[in-house]
């Protein structure tokens, strides 16, 4: 008995030493273990990942390996060199294992090994071609209904006050939900539970929930699973909504009913958590930058003057297909400033990473690789002048054409923003998302008067805990007042 305990202890000690005494081998990236055994830099990284990575970049350059809670993570910050990770053709990197762990942790979801590939295959056509057109039209109708209906009982001159984040998130969630999912009656309840769940999601993913928060998340999750529960399909019915089609797909994959429900919650989150916050940031920048607001309004004015039938104008069909370089530039500038994805891979066999400058680094099997495009390219002062500033025409040339040439070290960048992730898991809904945000902003600006309650307010800061999870969210809100215009559309 004592002997076993002694052996175990010895084993643990040796393991601890092994982990603690990793040394940098020839041709490996600079290694930074941090002072705390095993944990390494985990705490600093959790508190403020951007600041931590910026500090390490100053110390070590564009590539380095840090210890984080027992893992060795090689951070790559040179956007010219992302390609060798994202489009690696030697099968040295894997993302499914990491993704699987995250889905288990957040959604308690466990899916078969080949599932991600088949889901992706099923998903892609739903956001392309005719299906995409159908989704856009449906979204357009739902947005118009949701927004205008909520004002039916108000007299035209009546101002309403609300937080802009709440406003954008609730309108886009409702319309988005009605477009993809079926149950129409419970949308208000679903939205409410969803927000509670979404608010705690980063903490859930990092296992840093407090006791009472754990209870809150569990309750919200349970309620959502109940509310989302797909109706049974009888054999004859055609799948005519996205959700029905998804149920059929899950059944074909042999996924049991319990996991089907959890998969629905995952899809609710991936499809609804980004567009609302994105619209919020975009409108915040417009409201606090009068020259940008005027530029968008002038673009819309020109588009409206080209339209003749008021029916068409009312339903926003004119937004689609119209060329809107000013809006597009503003959207990209917003995404540059407010999206922060972590692109993670596991190194599954030793790999020589070739950097754009010709240097080669050895990556060890079992380590992780992290790309963090928020730091570079998105906030890189070598690429963007005054990167922390919002400039509405940053992505426009002088002749109002799209600007796509951005440089670092004298070389043109292939990707100069990465709001949609990259590689195999890049956002499948990105075209739909762009149209949705455009429809929403144009509808809001042409049908409502919208202004800041206090003209001196600034755009709120980021909630630090959402770095690495995609779209950032504000810490606080921006109070606005708005009312229906007397005649619409008008600008
Ligand atoms: C501004 C809005 C949006 C942003 C910034 C965004 C961003 C992203 C990112 C970064 C990922 C990759 C996550 C990963 O690496 O695992 C992703 C995945 C995904 N997005 Fe979006 N997204 C947006 C809107 C939407 C919308 C409106 C939809 C659909 C209605 C959508 C559908 C999806 C789906 C289905 C995936 C999963 C793809 C996969 O697993 O292969 N997204 N999104
Ligand atoms: C916005 O960024 C995307 C890449 O995310 C690019 O394809 C598109 O051309 C950009 N549009 C503008 C107006 O810069
Ligand atoms: C910031 O995010 C954390 C964790 O996700 C959440 O608990 C907190 O309420 C958020 N803060 C605000 C002001 O929303």
* Amino acid 234: pLDDT: 46
pLDDT score of 21: 72
Spacing, Cα 198 to ligand 3 middle (Å): 9
Whether residue 92 has its Cβ less than 6 Å from ligand 1: no
In DSSP notation, 88-120 reads -SS--EE-HHHHHHHHHHHH-----TTHHHHHH
User: In the structure, which protein residues have their CB atom closer than 6 angstroms to any atom of ligand 2?
Assistant: 328-329, 332, 395, 402, 404, 417
pLDDT in tens, 69-105: 999 999 999 999 999 999 998 999 999 999 999 999 9
Mutational pocket test of ligand 2: of 79, 336, 402, 430, the residue with most ligand atoms within 8 Å of the beta carbon? 402
327-352 residue pLDDT tens: 999 999 999 999 999 999 999 999 99
Rg over alpha carbons for the chain, rounded to the nearest Å, is 24
Q: Check if the beta carbon of residue 92 is closer than 8 Å to that of residue 348.
A: yes
**Quick one: average pLDDT of 232-248?**
69
Task: Look at residue 34 and give its three-state secondary structure.
Answer: coil
Q: Please report the pLDDT score of residue 20 as a whole number.
A: 60
The arithmetic mean of pLDDT across residues 43-69, rounded, is: 95
Minimum-distance ligand 2 atom for the alpha carbon of 430: 5
Do 341 and 419 touch, CB atoms closer than 8 A?
Answer: yes
> How many helices, marked H, and strands, marked E, lie in the chain?
17, 15
Distance 135 CA to ligand 2 centre (A): 22
d(CA 419, CA 332) in angstroms, rounded, equals 9
Domains of the chain: 115-182+230-341+375-484 (1.10.630.10)
* Local confidence band at 10 (pLDDT 50, 70, 90 cut-offs): low
Ligand lying closest to the C-alpha of residue 117 = 1
Q: Token pair for residue 353?
A: 């990473």
The structure tokens 């149920």 sit at 247
Phi-psi group of 468: left, alpha or beta (phi > 0 → left; psi -120 to 50 → alpha; rest → beta): left
3-state helix, strand, coil in the chain (%, to 5): 50, 15, 35
Average pLDDT of the segment spanning 232-255: 76
Tokens of 377: 């390219």
CA distance 61 to 70: 23
Indicate which residue's Cα is closest to atom 5 of ligand 3. 200
Q: How far is the CA of 332 from the centre of ligand 2 (A)?
A: 6
Q: Give the per-residue pLDDT at 236.
A: 42
Ligand 1 pocket: which of 143, 174, 419, 429 to mutate (most atoms within 8 A of CB): 429
Of 168, 245, 120, nearest to 436 by C-alpha is 168
Closest residue by Cα to atom 1, ligand 3, is 463
What is the tens place of the pLDDT at every residue in 361-415? Answer: 999 999 999 999 999 999 999 999 999 999 999 999 999 999 999 999 999 999 9
Q: What is the pLDDT of residue 312?
A: 55
Judge if pTM exceeds 0.85. yes
Containing 212, the helix (H) or strand (E) segment is helix 211-228
Tell me: is residue 301 an annotated ligand-binding position: no
Q: Which residue reads 């968008």 in tokens?
A: 296
Question: Around 51, how many Cα atoms within 13 Å sit in the side-chain half-sphere?
Answer: 8
CA 333 to centroid of ligand 2, rounded, Å = 9
pLDDT digits (tens, 9 = 90+) for 170-192: 999 999 999 998 766 789 999 99
Dist. CA 236 → ligand 1 center (Å): 32
**Using CA atoms, how far apart are residues 5 and 126, in angstroms rounded to an integer?**
57
In angstroms, how far is the first alpha carbon of the chain from the final one? 82
């Amino acid at each position: 008995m004592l002997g076993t305990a002694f052996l175990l202890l010895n084993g643990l000690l040796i393991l601890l030493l092994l982990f603690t005494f990793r040394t940098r081998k020839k041709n490996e990236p600079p290694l930074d273990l941090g002072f705390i055994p095993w944990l390494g830099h985990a705490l600093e990284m959790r508190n403020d990942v951007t600041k931590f990575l910026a500090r390490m970049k100053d110390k070590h350059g564009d590539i380095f390996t840090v210890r984080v809670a027992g893992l060795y993570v090689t951070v790559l910050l040179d956007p010219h060199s992302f390609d060798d990770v994202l489009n690696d053709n030697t099968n040295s990197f894997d993302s499914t294992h990491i993704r699987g762990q995250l889905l288990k942790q957040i959604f308690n979801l466990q899916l078969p090994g080949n599932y991600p590939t088949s889901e992706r295959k099923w998903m892609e056509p739903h956001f392309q071609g005719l299906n995409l057109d159908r989704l856009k039209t449906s979204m357009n109708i739902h947005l118009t209904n949701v927004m205008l209906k909520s004002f039916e009982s108000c007299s035209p001159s009546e101002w309403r006050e609300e937080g802009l984040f709440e406003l954008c998130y609730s309108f886009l969630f409702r319309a988005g939900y009605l477009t993809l999912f079926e149950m129409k009656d419970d949308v208000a309840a679903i939205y409410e539970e969803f927000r509670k769940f979404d608010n705690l999601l980063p903490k859930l993913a990092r296992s840093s929930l407090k006791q009472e928060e754990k209870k809150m998340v569990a309750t919200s999750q349970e309620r959502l699973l109940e509310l989302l529960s797909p109706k049974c399909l009888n054999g004859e019915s055609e799948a005519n909504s996205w959700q029905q089609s998804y149920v059929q797909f899950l059944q074909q994959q042999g996924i049991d009913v319990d996991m089907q429900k959890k998969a629905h919650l995952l899809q609710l989150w991936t499809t609804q958590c980004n567009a609302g916050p994105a619209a919020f940031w975009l409108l915040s920048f417009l409201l606090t930058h009068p020259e940008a607001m005027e530029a968008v309004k002038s673009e819309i004015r020109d588009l409206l003057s080209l339209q003749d039938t008021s029916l068409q104008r009312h339903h926003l069909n004119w937004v689609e297909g119209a060329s809107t370089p000013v809006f597009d530039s503003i959207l990209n500038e917003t995404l540059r400033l407010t999206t922060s994805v972590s692109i993670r891979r596991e190194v599954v066999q030793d790999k020589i990473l070739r950097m754009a400058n010709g240097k080669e680094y050895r990556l060890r099997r079992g380590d992780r690789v992290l790309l963090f495009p928020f730091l570079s390219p998105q906030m890189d002062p070598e690429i963007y002048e005054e990167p922390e500033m919002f400039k509405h025409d940053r992505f426009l040339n002088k002749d109002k054409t799209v600007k796509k040439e951005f440089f670092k070290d004298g070389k043109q960048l292939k990707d100069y923003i990465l709001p949609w992730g990259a590689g195999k898991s890049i956002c499948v809904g990105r075209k739909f998302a762009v149209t949705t945000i455009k429809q929403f902003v144009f509808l809001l600006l042409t049908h409502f008067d919208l202004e800041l309650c206090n003209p001196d307010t600034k755009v709120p800061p980021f909630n630090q805990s959402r770095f690495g999870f995609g779209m950032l969210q504000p810490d606080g809100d921006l109070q606005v007042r708005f009312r229906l215009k007397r005649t619409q559309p008008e600008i």
